[in-house]
Amino acid sequence: MTWTDEELVDRSKTGDTESFNQLVRRWERPIFALAYRTLGREEDARDVTQETFLRAFRALPGFKGDAKFSSWLYRIALNLCRDWMRKDRRTPVVAVPEGVDVEQLASEHQPHTASVEDLAARAELSRGVSKAMERLPEEQRTAILLKEYHGLTFQEIADMTNCPLSTAKTRVYQGLTLLRKHLAEQGQFEPPAGAVAKRPQRES
């Protein structure tokens, strides 16, 4: 039987650790992806993911359920990422680590029928996108991450980042515009050839 997040939260509040571990299993990958795309370092993202769930577990009795559990988790993770960057006095470095090659990418995300050339091209594009994202202001980058990869509504982004709805929309709009510019400067922006592009895969 599959429990909803709300049911698992209720059970966790009564001391059922295994229910909380189910929530961890369900949400650790989206949280890791958000942290990785924000911080750009695998180890940092792993630490932030771990800390996110620890904080969530400790704060669970105070979670009233006004927002979705996932939104609450995202907020904790984003705050931790922000603290992480400030603590280390560094800007986020969004880069594909040296150790990741096309085979690694393939094993996780690609069907085995993809050719080596396709994989290499996608890896190159992935590096290009990460570089372009690195150049975005933090607010725009966060808004785009939440919108594109986690499927939040503009209102949810606004609530999570404590800004008006119009600001959340502007951040996404300006972020996409800047991304297009950066990708074009890197020679990686493909002008549309009339076909509708595919959508990013959501993490949840």
Partner 1 sequence: MSLHIADDQDALLNYLYEEGDPAERLRVARHLQACAACAVAVLEFQSVRGMLADWTPPPVKLGFRIVQDQQQEPPRNVRWWQPGGGFPAWAQAAAAVCLFAAGMAVSMVDVRYGDGTLMVRSRSAASTAVEATMVPESNIVPVRQNDIRLEPAQGTTADNTDFRALEQELRSDLKGRADGDVILRRVRAMIDQSEARQQRELALRLSDVVRDFDTQRRADLLQVQQNFGQLEGQTGQEVAHQRELLNYLVRTSGK
Which residue of 68, 82, 90, 180 would you call a contact of partner 1, by CB under 8 A? 180
Residue 88 to residue 198: CA distance in whole angstroms: 36
Residue 36 to residue 96: CA distance in whole angstroms: 10
Cα-based distances in Å from 39 to 91, 106, 126, 196: 8, 23, 16, 30
Residue 89 or 194: the one with the smaller Cβ distance to partner 1 is: 194
Q: Is the dihedral of CA 145, 148, 149, 155 positive or negative?
A: positive
Residue 161 engages partner 1 in binding (rule: CB under 8 A): no
Residue 194 engages partner 1 in binding (rule: CB under 8 A): yes
- 3-state SS class at 175: helix
Nearest-10 Cα torsion for 173, 176, 178, 181: -130
Q: By CB under 8 A, which span of 1-9, 32-40, 67-75, 84-92 interacts with partner 1?
A: 32-40
Residue 162 engages partner 1 in binding (rule: CB under 8 A): no
> Pattern of binders to partner 1 over 47-86, x per CB under 8 A?
--xx--xx--xx----------------------------
Picking from 80, 89, 49, 73, the residue whose alpha carbon sits closest to that of residue 156 is 73
Site for partner 1, rule CB under 8 A:
15, 17, 20-21, 24-25, 28-29, 32-33, 36-37, 42, 45-46, 49-50, 53-54, 57-58, 96-97, 99-100, 103-109, 112, 116, 122, 125-126, 128-130, 133, 144, 147-149, 153-154, 169-170, 172-173, 176, 179-180, 183, 188-192, 194, 196-201
